Structure 1
């Protein structure tokens, strides 16, 4: 029988008001590779872009829904508050700190978070992120840095780091993460906990914060839409669907996204997805031109002419 345990972070999806600006920031400044330019399968008039490592490995991709006519989101409690990106070591953080200064990226300087060096920063739409150093990290393996990117390979982002979630119902949410999702709490301090899944480390952690004072966040661009955790395969995700049903947790049912299978459940205010590691992003485009053309899953291919006539084009050829 397939092991149904969560293996780590699969992807994080946020919302942007400008797919082209967002593309330039992630590829030209952060040095992440656009591995898929497709459409939101639930709203084919908008883009869904995937930025990842050199081959689009699971656990490395930050994705975006392009909602140009949506209002700006409002940060606050009961939300996913900060995704993170892994870099190889502390020297890479220093490299990016200088790079952010050169590109006028708003950042907070290198800091220490629970004994690990981090570099918090923002995109211009207000979305908060941080880089985290793997200098002393062990656990979930990273991906492969983009070979032809603008950042030297020994400094480049090569995976997702801990996902930060902030809620007002801290104890109840932590209990759900432990009992339903099988996470292990490895640290607790005042109003914060770190939980791990899979092999742990930066690629398998949740930073859970308690905030009962701030107003509730409002979804919109500049905010995170959902986080996804990794499962091995179809058999594992089927077991998760059965688990949700047995526990009475409302869910989406299995959704075939072509690049992976997905299962969604809202836990409190937080939309949590579990996704299979495969099939992945390498099956429908050549490695050399990943992300350069509009990719559509087979069930949307017959609508290609219509979609291309409706969606606002932008050039991602390199």
Structure 2
């Protein structure tokens, strides 16, 4: 079998939240990401699906949430994405520490990791997140969203995800199959249970790193945990070749599923972490003008026929920086 087209890196990360308004306020206002899509969980239309990204919803920038209010608090452990890290411009962590103080954000001391400075913190649901100072070049594919945070400090897409795994070897081999290269190992630093952190890198400019740490620490799904991590397979052809490669590793990927803004394939890797392969198109601006992203509740496909029923079951939310909106706006 021919080698698959290597993934450029992370496409999006989807997490579990509690209160939808609290989630919206934190990720859109405190962290300054743009709400690029306000929709529903297509597998559970009784709950929202929020997408936060850069100014244009560029692949590799969107952090998404299912706000399931009735779920219990989760706990990060083995077989999960334990940390999500974002890129911020060099020299901006002082700004972020001051902003976190002003907004009452729970954060830790900075650590050095693979020659980079990292600021760990938690969102209101306890989700572990990190900001990593990174050189942002003039040719960077992301576009800063500056409604709440200045461009010289704005989050510019994903830096990495960290996987906690009881037996890292099969997953590390899978990452290499997907196009990640092993680039280094060092002593773990900052809220990590293992002795060593191994880094894998893709070739893309954003979301290019996956870190792996060994641990048998138990966890549970719920508020403040990652639901899945999606990797870019930019075209349908790229996705199918990667799907075949994943299958050759003894895993069981789904058939392609149309998610309206991208097409997806899902599988659980060897340790149980849910991985997704996602195309880069059609994109978040395929059903809304770029200037209006996130401005209305979008119900993809046949869900539009159930709008009245779906809207009746969703709580009202206020998008920061905008007038209050009802679920049916």
Q: Could you tell me the TM-score, scaled by structure 2's length?
A: 0.89
Secondary structure (helix, strand or coil) at the match of 2:64 reads strand
Residue in 1 aligned with 2:57? 56
1:290 to partner: Cα distance:
1.3
> Is 1:168–1:210's contact at 8 Å kept on the other side of the alignment?
yes
Structure 1 position 294 matched with structure 2 position 310: no
1:76 to partner: Cα distance:
1.8
Deviations along 1:247-288, one digit per CA (max 9) or x if unpaired, are 442122101101001111101211111101111101211222
Q: 1:2 to 1:259 in 2, by over 3 A?
A: farther
Residue in 1 aligned with 2:318? 315
Secondary structure (helix, strand or coil) at the match of 2:24 reads helix
The equivalent position to 1:194 in structure 2, one of 199, 212, 218, is 199
> Is 1:27–1:33's contact at 8 Å kept on the other side of the alignment?
yes
Residue in 2 aligned with 1:152? 150
1:211 to partner: Cα distance:
1.2
Once residues 181 and 79 of structure 1 are traced to their aligned partners in structure 2, the CA distance between those partners, rounded to angstroms, is: 19
The equivalent position to 2:178 in structure 1, one of 178, 181, 193, is 181
1:27-38 superposed matches below 5 A:
27-38=28-39
Q: CA RMSD in A?
A: 2.0
Deviations along 1:203-224, one digit per CA (max 9) or x if unpaired, are 2000111113x2x210111101
Once residues 242 and 114 of structure 1 are traced to their aligned partners in structure 2, the CA distance between those partners, rounded to angstroms, is: 33
> Is 1:83–1:130's contact at 8 Å kept on the other side of the alignment?
yes
1:236 to partner: Cα distance:
1.2
- Which consecutive unaligned segments of at least 5 residues does structure 1 have? none
1:25-174 superposed matches below 5 A:
25-89=26-90, 91-135=91-135, 141-147=140-146, 149-174=147-172
Residue in 2 aligned with 1:260? 262
Most deviating of 68-77 and 34-43: 68-77
1:246 to partner: Cα distance:
4.2
Once residues 21 and 69 of structure 2 are traced to their aligned partners in structure 1, the CA distance between those partners, rounded to angstroms, is: 11
Deviations along 1:67-88, one digit per CA (max 9) or x if unpaired, are 1101111222221100011111
Number of residue-to-residue matches in the alignment: 310
Once residues 4 and 164 of structure 2 are traced to their aligned partners in structure 1, the CA distance between those partners, rounded to angstroms, is: 29
Once residues 64 and 260 of structure 1 are traced to their aligned partners in structure 2, the CA distance between those partners, rounded to angstroms, is: 16
Structure 1 position 227 matched with structure 2 position 229: yes
Secondary structure (helix, strand or coil) at the match of 1:99 reads helix
- Which consecutive unaligned segments of at least 5 residues does structure 2 have? 187-194, 323-329
Deviations along 1:43-83, one digit per CA (max 9) or x if unpaired, are 00011100000010100010001111011112222211000
